[in-house]
Amino acid sequence: MIADVIHSVHCAPCRGRDACVLRIRGYYYTVSVPAPTTTQDFEGGAAGWPLKVQTLLDAVLVLAGEHELDTVLRRIVAGAATIAEAKYAALGIYDEAGAIESFIHFGMDDDTVASIGSLPGGRGLLGEVIVASGPIRLAELGTDPRAGGFPPNHPPMRTFLGVPVGRGARRYGNLYVTEKADGEPFVDEDEALVVAFAAFAVGAIESAHLVQAERARADAVADLAAATERAALRREMLGQILNAQEAERARVSRDLHDDVGQALTSVLLGLRLLESSLAGDEVAVGDARRRTDDVRTLVTDALGRTRQLAFDLRPTVLDDVGLLPALERLSQDMTARSDTTVAVAAQGFATDRLPPEIETVVYRVVQEALTNIARHASAATASITLIVAQGRVRVLVEDDGVGFVASATPRRGHLGLTGMAERADLVGGTVELSSTPGSGTTLLLELPLA
Amino acid sequence: MRVALCDDHAVVRSGLRRILDAEDGLEVVGEAGSVKEAVALAGTCLPDVFVMDLGLPDGSGIDATAAVVRISPATRVLVLTGHDDIAYLRRAFEAGAAGYLIKDAADIELVQAVRLVASGKQYVHPALGAALLAPDAPPARLGGPGGELSDRELEVLRMMALGLTNAEISQQLYVSVRTVETHRSHIHQKLNVRNRAELVRRAKDAGLLDGDDPGP
């Protein structure tokens, strides 16, 4: 909005011409106009303004109310045509390399545009205005040595005025008007008005850019907020799922232990009773004993497997006794079942128990790490060390196996590192895996205890 | 000899009862299915031997064991369970149990185990007994076959016991990771250990980390 219009101020850069200084949204714009040396130079407009200045101000006002870049550019072109009384007008916006990024035109109907085909590429005169320091004004476009010629179906254009659009070293593009309505060449007055209008156009373009950037920034902020919210939701859901999974595993594990285990125990006891009740024919009794021995072997085996299954699901010792006994049992199992000897040590534990959610994360991460070692490391020994110090628990799982190249990311994904990191993250912790080929692998898990 | 049973599965209880009753000189004098019932039974019957399951609906057989022994100090508790973790065994003996039997072997070893604990001895299932004796504590002196540790090696050892990685130790000591690796391998050789966990146990046994470890 135009807050102040200060006119008839002598303007030094315009060297003797009068200028209108307009303040729009805190910015001052100097509109230089040819000095009215004689009264007949201008036809008087309303309120004594020269009619053409009135047209300029109208175009400026229309421009000032707009923030959409596309609309701003179209209004600049239309405004320039009106101000200069030209049949055609165009605005070439250039990218930083000087190529035409967009070309907005006025005065040609769609059929003509379509029949010409491609838009100008910035060669010839259009390009000359880019490098020229000031306006270019021609009475006969075709005869200028810089003209590159028109493509087929292009309407004839003779009179030409090209004005750079920019501020200081920053050039946005050029504003062109052609074919003055009365067939006469463009005059000083036209040039001065279009130059002034181009100055406003810069402000409008910059303002639209700012609005665009602000909108993009607001969108980015909103996107980020939405992403953060999604991540928090995902984290919460993951936590709930993992908790539910652990609870379910604990329940199934206990059921296996108590119900299936007890049932099998009953069978064993039944066998014993059956044996004690056997009497009579020596051969028949011997045969029955062999059969009960076979059944006993089967049941004992089933009991052992049930117990192992229960342990693999979620060891009851983890809930009943604590993390260290559970890890000791895990390492004994691995030592017995694989070629890797596993040792466990703890340091700094003031109490037997850590918070249950911490114990679960440590147990699951160590379990995963040991599985990796058994599968990939070919290690002779592995070591689990738990250290409680300075309000956090630090767990190192190390092996002396073949190791791997730390940058081999597909391998890292393969090692279930993401799952481990997600579990750790749920309790505010981190997981790091480091290795060098030939000197084993170290997994470092750190969790805060507060 | 008067025996009491505690197991929350009636089928198991009746099987145990029939096996024990069939033995000369053994008599089952009562059955319980929970911690509460077991404690009450011990108070009224004062059995010679109490065969105790660990997983009970209202609590743990370990708590029941402690309560039974308190109420009837002459009663010998034989734990009969599906748990084959050493951790449960340790707890049971801490609570005052005299024997620990795994259910896989209940039919064969039960009678022998009951007689053993009744005679004042302790009974541990053979497989667990072997685990108890597993040599996880090497001699508690620092400086093995390879000689004494240098001051620098002691420093590295302490940092390893605090859980520092090679990279972190190298930063603290202003030496290269390679140098830390060399120190580590010398420490391993001198103490005859193979990894950090063994090293930490060794250092703890030697009292080297006393200042760093607040408990237990």
Q: What is the mean pLDDT of residues A324-345?
A: 92
Question: CA nearest A421: which of A358, A354, A361?
Answer: A361
Q: Kindly tell me the burial class for residue A59, based on how many C-beta atoms sit within 10 Å of its own C-beta (0-12, 13-18, 19 or more).
A: buried
Q: Using pLDDT thresholds of 50, 70 and 90, give the confidence band for residue A448.
A: very high
| pLDDT for res A359 | 94
pLDDT digits (tens, 9 = 90+) for B47-71: 999 999 998 989 899 999 999 999 9
| pLDDT for res A239 | 86
Q: What is the mean pLDDT of residues A51-66?
A: 83
Q: How far B204 CA lies from chain A's nearest CA (Å)?
A: 8
User: Which residues are CB-neighbours of A101 under 8 A, at least 6 positions away?
Assistant: A93, A94, A95, A173
What ipTM is given for this predicted complex? 0.71
Q: Using pLDDT thresholds of 50, 70 and 90, give the confidence band for residue A127.
A: low
| pLDDT for res A132 | 66
| pLDDT for res A17 | 45
Looking at per-residue pLDDT, the higher value among A238 and A399 belongs to A399
Helix, strand, coil % (nearest 5) of chain B?
50, 15, 35
CB atoms < 10 A from the CB of B81, how many?
Answer: 24
Strands A170-180 and A86-94: antiparallel
Lowest mean pLDDT among A31-35, A165-169, B74-78, B137-141: B137-141
Looking at per-residue pLDDT, the higher value among A62 and A225 belongs to A225
SS3 assignment, position A356 = helix
Residue A183 CA to residue B29 CA, distance in Å, equals 128
How confident is the prediction along chain B (216 residues), in pLDDT tens digits per residue?
Answer: 999 999 998 888 998 999 999 899 999 999 999 999 999 999 999 999 999 999 898 989 999 999 999 999 999 999 999 888 888 998 999 999 999 999 888 888 899 999 999 999 999 988 787 777 665 544 444 555 556 788 888 889 988 988 899 889 999 899 998 899 999 999 988 888 999 999 998 888 777 776 554 433
Cis bond before residue B126 (omega within 30° of 0): no
Q: What is the mean pLDDT of residues A172-182?
A: 88
Is residue A292 pLDDT above 90, yes or no? no
pLDDT digits (tens, 9 = 90+) for A41-58: 444 444 445 777 888 888
Lowest mean pLDDT among A123-137, A246-260, A272-286, B172-186: A123-137
| pLDDT for res B110 | 92
Residue A296 CA to residue A146 CA, distance in Å, equals 106
SS3 assignment, position A152 = coil
Q: What is the mean pLDDT of residues A230-240?
A: 86
Q: How far B82 CA lies from chain A's nearest CA (Å)?
A: 7
Q: How far B99 CA lies from chain A's nearest CA (Å)?
A: 18
CA A250 to chain centre: 40
pTM of the model: 0.60
Which residues of B, range 104-163, sit inside 8 Å of A by Cβ? 104, 106-108, 131, 136, 161-163
| Cα first-last separation, chain B | 41
Lowest mean pLDDT among A11-15, A187-191, A279-283, A303-307: A11-15
Residue A128 CA to residue B35 CA, distance in Å, equals 100
Mean pLDDT of chain A: 81
Is the minimum CB–CB distance between B85 and chain A shorter than 8 Å?
yes
| pLDDT for res A42 | 44
Is residue A161 pLDDT above 80, yes or no? yes
Q: What is the mean pLDDT of residues A304-312?
A: 87
B87 contacts in chain A (CB < 8 Å): 317, 321-322, 325-326, 328-329
Residue B199 CA to residue B138 CA, distance in Å, equals 10
Q: How far A297 CA lies from chain B's nearest CA (Å)?
A: 10
Residue A33 CA to residue A123 CA, distance in Å, equals 31
Torsion of CA A331, A337, A341, A345, to 10 degrees: 0
| CA distances in angstroms from A367 to A8, A246, A285, A387, A406, listed in the order given | 85, 14, 49, 17, 21
The answer to whether the beta carbons of residues B31 and B45 sit under 8 Å apart is no
Could you tell me the strand order of the sheet in which A27-33 lies? A2-10, A18-24, A27-33
A263 contacts in chain B (CB < 8 Å): 11
| pLDDT for res A381 | 94
Partner-chain contact A268 B197, CB within 8 Å = no
B184, B195, B212: best to mutate for the A interface, most A CBs within 10 A:
B195
Task: Tell me which range, A108-122, A177-191, B62-76, is most confidently predicted by mean pLDDT.
Answer: B62-76
Question: CA nearest A163: which of A265, A77, A229, A68?
Answer: A77
Residue B51 CA to residue B31 CA, distance in Å, equals 10
The count of CB pairs under 8 A between chains A and B is: 152
A296 contacts in chain B (CB < 8 Å): 107
Question: CA nearest B103: which of A326, A269, A333?
Answer: A269
* B172: its two tokens: 């603290």
Is residue A313 pLDDT above 80, yes or no? yes
Q: Using pLDDT thresholds of 50, 70 and 90, give the confidence band for residue A429.
A: very high
Q: Using pLDDT thresholds of 50, 70 and 90, give the confidence band for residue A395.
A: very high
The answer to whether the beta carbons of residues B109 and B125 sit under 8 Å apart is yes
Looking at per-residue pLDDT, the higher value among A34 and B209 belongs to B209
List A398's β-bridge partners, or say none. Answer: A383, A442
Q: How many CA atoms lie within 13 A of A234 on its CB side?
A: 9
Strands B123-124 and A27-33: unpaired
Which residues of B, range 23-52, sit inside 8 Å of A by Cβ? none
Q: Using pLDDT thresholds of 50, 70 and 90, give the confidence band for residue A399.
A: very high
